[in-house]
Structure 1
């Protein structure tokens, strides 16, 4: 599935780019692509409007850490997992840049996309650029890529459920650690699917609620990225006494410090209103969603975690010295 996902994403992006560049009758100029500035937010500060665009950019980073979440199932994870994380970010940047340029060269009218009646605004862009039939093909490619991305997310989240249950961090340990015949923690998988369906239904019921979920998801992911980096910055020797094969060396502290600073800045930015004048329909409710998540986490910790969780379960390689570690012949 992972290999198919990779090749479908690469091949699908190539098909989308070629379709847009070949079938769009009149392409935009390079001056439009690289210098045009569109502002539909109502804010007068161009700098602030540019910063608001970080939400979509950060949203694309969600899931880049999946390799770390399934590292226990991989070989040579101490080296390959960080390489996979960095590689996914670099690869996504390159592919995303090519795709974005194709969209910008092909877009017919940004105001029409802003005012579209379609549930998915990008459908309007494809419809204006390549017509109805090719739009259906392009949206099918995107939909399948999104579906496989969701499967990857469900896989990662189910492993998180398993790891937290194994470490006795929350109740129902035996349920979350139960494996099916494919050796997958199926309770965590289906719970993740249920949560995904509820979030998807939120878009049908209220675009405001859905946008709040997206913003809060970006904030929550950034906070989860920041926690180990924060510990690494202020407790470098106790958090990781010995560096692994993938290390930044003397650049570790300044890069980690820059990461913490950027993450805090982004989290504050993402709770600010994205449009003005602020009213009930365009208010950013991400702070409410994040507050709800923190309340649930704090409640679980107070009720269960603090009396049961004692730290990650250690493996034999963590406890024994290299000379004492059993060898399989």
Structure 2
């Protein structure tokens, strides 16, 4: 590392110490790398491909295209709101830490505890949904060459576990190469979209009309009222566009995080929105018979779509292989964010067994036990598929609800506090901040309702959307831990509120003295020490 980079890293570590934490992770990620990580977690072509059955059921072309554009604009508002706060408090605690800092001292522990669990559950379930959908997609590739093949529950879950293990191994032993992996994701995704776009348009023998692409609406397959079906279909876009907030957990591995991470958040959403339009429009122009696509096993029709349009099994698999490559970037990136989130939350004692999960492996330079915890939790949750064939829809719904709500908490608290904390943010939204924040909160409340609904009616035990059940299960664990331990022992992030002020949007040094105790620094506030 050259002198300038060492200087930037030292300044970032000092700023982190003023926020109450000791730097334990190497700062070897760039803004482009964080942008790539966010882009990887959103994984636009992959996310839209694995959830395509949702919009084909609920409105078809209009829901696919305009639902994507609508949610992209909403996501820009949310990303900008979070970026504004992140520029003031750049720590791996992310929205959990921000919620504590923006709240009053009386409510900070409870608010941060709730938001921390929402974030953790959101991280775990978005990783789960990415890799579980990936397992279904991998198995659907077999049907390209063997139309009679239908994967059973055991085959699907075992494939999912294999994907999880590969992602975990890359995170554990390739942590030093995450910067390269995240950057490579941008180029792979961009190249894949161009290749798929050109191939489909050149090889398609039949094309839909412009009227179909931009104006066709058919919700007859959903069972929902026509107007309401459009909103149920928004899950496809909302699920895909969730990763931008997760990258805040990488703040302690980036130089100049107060500038680079907020910038990456907003740019990733803008890039994802544009990528989605470029990917969806050509697909709509060459879309085969919708009913045939909806009858595909495991609700993964993209491989069949590619095969029909190219007129070749090899061609269909080749295009699907590009999507599977994006899957691996997404799975690795999501598990990276999950492990960092578990690590950050554990070091404040908010998770049962936190003494273990907060440890950083000195040889691997990453929180190994937090990675193992995230992997095991996801592997266990995957077993829900044994009882519900619609488990993937439940996973996507839970991830979208948990992450959206976790993003909404600091934005809402910021509004209640009249946005005083972000007045000098280096990423200020200025006079538009209040309007943008209100749009975020209203959308998130609405999203929590619609994403608990099943994709289509009628439903039975196997096709029901169990998002609310999974969400409630984690809520029960969080409440049990809070009343048995955290209520008396958890004080939130280790921050001296009265001793801190903000200068140019970056937290200034505390006025109260600090004591050096060997390798740890103790901040004199509520008896909390930086961990």
- Please report the TM-score for the alignment, with normalisation by the length of structure 1: 0.90
* Distance across 1 between alignment mates of 2:509 and 2:486: 24
In the alignment, what sits opposite 1:161? Answer: 342
Deviation at 1:141, TM superposition (A): 1.2
283-292 or 308-317: which moved more?
308-317
Report Cα offsets for 1:197-251 as digits up to 9, x if no partner. Answer: 344554466322332222111111111111111111112467x265320011121
Alignment partner of 2:494: what SS? Answer: coil
Alignment partner of 1:65: what SS? Answer: helix
* Distance across 1 between alignment mates of 2:199 and 2:402: 36
* Distance across 2 between alignment mates of 1:237 and 1:96: 33
Do the aligned residues in 1 keep the contact of 2:391 with 2:465 (CA within 8 Å)? no
In the alignment, what sits opposite 1:289? Answer: 470
Q: 1:205-216, aligned counterparts within 5 Å?
A: 206-216=388-398
Give the paired residue count: 323
Question: Which runs of no fewer than 5 residues in structure 2 stay unpaired?
Answer: 1-180, 501-506, 515-531
In the alignment, what sits opposite 2:518? Answer: none
* 2:321 alignment partner, one of 121, 140, 149: 140
* Distance across 2 between alignment mates of 1:193 and 1:25: 44
Matched, 1:17 2:17: no
Do the aligned residues in 1 keep the contact of 2:389 with 2:463 (CA within 8 Å)? no
* 1:301 alignment partner, one of 482, 488, 499: 482
Alignment partner of 1:207: what SS? Answer: coil
In the alignment, what sits opposite 1:232? Answer: 414
- Structure with the greater relative contact order (CA < 8 A, sep ≥ 6): 1 or 2? 2
Matched, 1:123 2:313: no
Deviation at 1:102, TM superposition (A): 1.5
In the alignment, what sits opposite 2:289? Answer: 109
For the structure 1 residues 173 and 156, does the alpha-carbon distance in structure 2 shift closer, same or farther, using more than 3 Å as the test? Answer: same
RMSD over aligned Cα atoms: 2.5
For the structure 1 residues 83 and 297, does the alpha-carbon distance in structure 2 shift closer, same or farther, using more than 3 Å as the test? Answer: same
Do the aligned residues in 2 keep the contact of 1:9 with 1:145 (CA within 8 Å)? yes
- Please report the TM-score for the alignment, with normalisation by the length of structure 2: 0.57
Do the aligned residues in 1 keep the contact of 2:259 with 2:426 (CA within 8 Å)? yes
Deviation at 1:120, TM superposition (A): 2.0
In the alignment, what sits opposite 1:50? Answer: 230
Do the aligned residues in 1 keep the contact of 2:200 with 2:283 (CA within 8 Å)? yes
In the alignment, what sits opposite 2:358? Answer: 177
Deviation at 1:127, TM superposition (A): 1.8
Do the aligned residues in 2 keep the contact of 1:29 with 1:105 (CA within 8 Å)? yes
* Distance across 2 between alignment mates of 1:204 and 1:8: 34
Matched, 1:320 2:501: no
Matched, 1:194 2:384: no
89-98 or 26-35: which moved more?
26-35
* Distance across 1 between alignment mates of 2:419 and 2:274: 35
